[in-house]
Amino acid sequence: MYSTVLQCLEQTALKYPDKTVFADVKESFTFHDLLKLSQKIGSFIADLVSPQNPIVVYMDKRAYNLLSFMGAAYAGCFYVPIDSQMPSERINLILDTLQPSMILYDDATADKVNNISSSIIKFHYETALKTEINDDALSRIRLNSKNTDLLYVLFTSGSTGIPKGVTISHAAVIDFMDWICDAYSLDDTTILCNQAPFYFDASVPDIYIPLKTGATVFIPPKSYYTFPKKILQFIETHNINTLIWVPSALCNVVNCKAFEVCVPASIKLVIFCGEVMPCKHLNVWRTYIPSALYVNMYGPTEATYACMYYNIERVFADDDKLPLGKACENSEIILLDDDDKLAEPGIIGEICISGQCLSQGYYNSKEKTSAAFMQNPINTKWREIIYRTGDLAYQNEHGEIIFAGRKDFQIKRLGHRIELGEIETVILSLNEVENACCVFNEDNSDIITVYTGKIDSNALADLIVDKLPQYMMPNKFVKLTSMPMNLNGKIDRAKIKKEYTEG
Ligand code: AMP
């Protein structure tokens, strides 16, 4: 096993120095470029920041982001990607939790970075690129690094309104890459089309498969995903053979009838993860590109992208549910019932994960970590940490695990994980609002906010538009004179959901 992902990069760069690793529409980098430029950035960081500290990479999504990610790793630090479109309130919450040592930015975020107060060191990444490689410093750092060191922290939506920073080590990523590359024969002929933003775990395979295999990743402009015909043409032009996307992006291709314009014959493997993939949409993909292998993967950010997989080899009816399948190598899945006992086959239990894939917990948040990562109640003999996902599932008669929804109010919308509580916290923070509750309509992915207060719905929408990422914006606001309450004196969410999302 490699000790860090850098060892992986160095071996691959030696084998394929002139091969393209990451390319967007403006720029492309070979493995040699990636190696040398990230060593420059690493030397720059190492001069100013000691190892094991967070380096925020606050940039527009471009191929050069990857140089900073690897630069942070060369400095023995870990990277935290923040998107240029993220609202400043969310960024401030993330920075509060993180207390980062350094922010690397680009032209797109230069002005916004200047508005960030505090003593954080801020540099344009091009400044870092002008640094000479300091081999001595990088070797010293490497001597002290271990595979349990953090590689990155990704922030997911937190139910208290404070985003949670999921910590992931080099070892977790290396282990997952070993498995996925072996299981799907990924190699130097693999060509990927990145869809997910880099602050989202769905981009992790796109970043690390090339480092291990010599594969190439193309990063199309974000706007292409709103015009799926363009993305299919992009795939065809670049001879892309492997897609690792969220189901929403695959569904969008179908909904926009993009296959009527272009059917890229190059596609051989389609992996999706992150939310339920409707069989109706999958069947359209299978009709147009029948020779590709389709794989349903399951996993939260806390499990380094995926911990279960299901290769789709039989026919599924449009209204069937795709199995989540079985555990990936070095991951174990147990389903726990309400009494923390193993759920019998056919009985719904909470999906709990253990194994090398697991995060070390939430950054700077002991309480949240111990609420989700705990001793396996089935094992009373030695320390074995499981992550309780809050997802429900059961085992069918073939031993396959079938997804049965969320335990709490976390939802998935357009591929993004959202906790409705986070939206409520933003709305409730407004003086004009007394009470608020958000519900989700799974049929059309609408978020409906029911609230009481002294503000009409249009004015409320205007007030929060700058406080939430677009994918978290409610579709509808309903003003009530009083909030429905249940017998316990709590907001009656079930009643609100029934009233505003059904029929
Ligand atoms: P994230 O941490 O953003 O990757 O979101 C993780 C959550 O996405 C999981 O806890 C599930 O609720 C959901 N999820 C992931 N994969 C699948 C899948 N294959 N089918 C249904 N839901 C999924």
| Nearest by Cα to 217 from 179, 243, 180, 197 | 243
Q: Is 324 in the pocket of ligand 1 (CB under 6 A)?
A: yes
Cβ–Cβ under 8 Å, residues 153 and 165: yes
DSSP 208-221: HHHHHH--EEEE--
In this structure, the residue with its CA closest to atom 1 of ligand 1 is 300
The pTM score is: 0.88
Q: Whose CA is nearest to atom 22 of ligand 1?
A: 275
> Is 454 in a helix, a strand, or coil?
coil
| pLDDT for res 159 | 59
Cα(404) to ligand 1 centroid in Å equals 11
Q: Sort residue 291 into left (φ over 0), alpha (ψ -120 to 50) or beta.
A: alpha
Q: List for the chain the helix, strand, coil content (%; round to 5).
A: 35, 25, 40
* Mutation choice for ligand 1 from 417, 419, 442, 471, CB with most ligand atoms inside 8 A: 417
Report the chain's terminal Cα–Cα distance, integer Å. Answer: 54
Q: Is 389 in the pocket of ligand 1 (CB under 6 A)?
A: yes
Output the tens digit of pLDDT for each of the chain's 503 residues: 678 999 999 999 999 999 999 999 999 999 999 999 999 999 999 999 999 999 999 999 999 999 999 999 999 999 999 988 888 888 999 999 999 989 999 999 999 998 887 789 999 999 999 999 999 999 999 999 999 999 999 998 765 667 899 999 999 999 999 999 999 999 999 999 999 999 999 999 999 999 999 999 999 998 888 889 999 999 999 999 999 998 888 988 988 899 999 999 999 999 999 888 888 889 999 999 999 999 999 999 999 999 999 999 999 988 788 999 999 998 999 999 989 999 999 998 999 999 999 999 999 999 999 999 999 999 999 999 999 999 989 999 989 999 887 777 778 888 887 878 778 878 988 889 888 899 999 888 899 999 988 999 999 999 999 889 989 999 999 999 988 876 544 678 778 988 998 86
Distance 239 CA to ligand 1 centre (A): 29
Q: What is the pLDDT of residue 160?
A: 64
pLDDT of residue 299: 96
Q: Does the C-beta of 310 come closer than 6 Å to ligand 1?
A: no
Query: What pLDDT does residue 486 have?
Result: 63
Cβ distance 206 to 305 under 8 Å?
Answer: no
Cβ of residue 122 lying under 6 Å from some atom of ligand 1: no
Pocket lining: 404 vs ligand 1, CB cutoff 6 Å? no
CB 406 less than 6 A from any atom of ligand 1:
yes
Distance 274 CA to ligand 1 centre (A): 4
147 lines ligand 1 (CB under 6 A): no
Atom of ligand 1 nearest to the CA of 297: 19
Say if ligand 1 is within 6 A of residue 248 CB: no
> Which pLDDT score, from 0 to 100, does residue 405 have?
75
What single-letter DSSP state applies at residue 416?
Answer: E
| Contact (Cβ atoms closer than 8 angstroms) between residue 305 and residue 204 | yes
412 Cβ inside 6 Å of ligand 1: yes
Residue 350 near ligand 1, beta carbon < 6 Å? no
3-state secondary structure 318-349: CCCCCCCEEECCCEEEEEECCCCCECCCCCCE
The answer, yes or no, to whether any atom of ligand 1 lies below 6 A from the CB of 273, is yes
pLDDT of residue 155: 93
- The reply to whether ligand 1 has any atom less than 6 angstroms from the CB of 419 is no
For ligand 1, atom 10, name the residue with the nearest CA.
Answer: 300
Question: Cβ(403) to ligand 1 under 6 A?
Answer: yes
Candidate from 310, 350, 391, 414 with most ligand 1 atoms within 8 A of CB, to mutate: 391
pLDDT computed for residue 488 by the predictor: 47
363 vs 49: CA distance, rounded Å:
18
What is the Å distance from ligand 1's center to 300 Cα?
5
Coil vs helix vs strand at 125: helix
**417 C-beta closer than 6 A to ligand 1:** yes
Q: Which residues have a Cβ under 8 Å from the Cβ of 291 and sit 6 or more positions away?
A: 268
